[in-house]
Amino acid sequence: MILKEVLGHSIDEIANITECTPAAAKSALRQLAQTPAGTRLPLMHDAARQKMAAFVGLFRAGDFDAIRAMLADDVKLDPVNRFKWEGRDKIVPYFTRYAEETKWRFAFGAVEGRPAMLVFESSAMEKPAYFVLVDWRDGQISTIRDFLFAPYALESVDWVRLG
């Protein structure tokens, strides 16, 4: 009732407008109420949210074999400001390096309203060191854009950590 008075729409109407479930709309609105003024909180499609949350969960668990199984044959890897690789077999070293590194912590979030993996240094968890964006095609990962080598990009984007 209060939301209808404040926003002019019911939870069901907000969910319909944003193409998400009523539960996701409620969750986002709760987060919005707890977010400092001036911070934009994205409402994203449930499918996009679930895919990225699963990707982050697998990264966090170090289950890179499961991630490799999600890759399209023509997947593109773009470590911004470094090189570009294309093809499932060519990007194997990318996951190997992450598997060997222990200083990073991974969290589900959004960058400019897009689902993202936020990467934190283990000693500083208040602001991410950088982020990773993933594009999907037909349920498979088609592109990975990793901003490890372009941490300055974080300074010019809106980001938020999501639960």
Question: Given this model, what pLDDT does residue 102 score?
Answer: 86
Contact 55, 67 (CB under 8 A): yes
The count of residues in the chain is 163
Question: Given this model, what pLDDT does residue 2 score?
Answer: 44
Whole-angstrom CA distances from 43 to 32, 127, 129, 140, 156 are 10, 21, 24, 22, 20
Higher local confidence (pLDDT), 7 or 106: 106
* Domains in the chain: ranges and CATH: 2-34 (no CATH), 46-161 (3.10.450.50)
pTM given for the model: 0.72
Closest CA to 132 of 55, 46, 50: 55
Q: Which of 14-18, 105-109, 136-140 has the lowest mean pLDDT?
A: 14-18
Query: Stretch 10-21: mean pLDDT, rounded?
Result: 71
Higher local confidence (pLDDT), 2 or 24: 24
Higher local confidence (pLDDT), 68 or 13: 68
Question: How does pLDDT run across 23-77, given as a tens digit for each residue?
Answer: 767 766 666 566 555 554 455 677 888 899 999 999 999 999 999 999 999 999 9
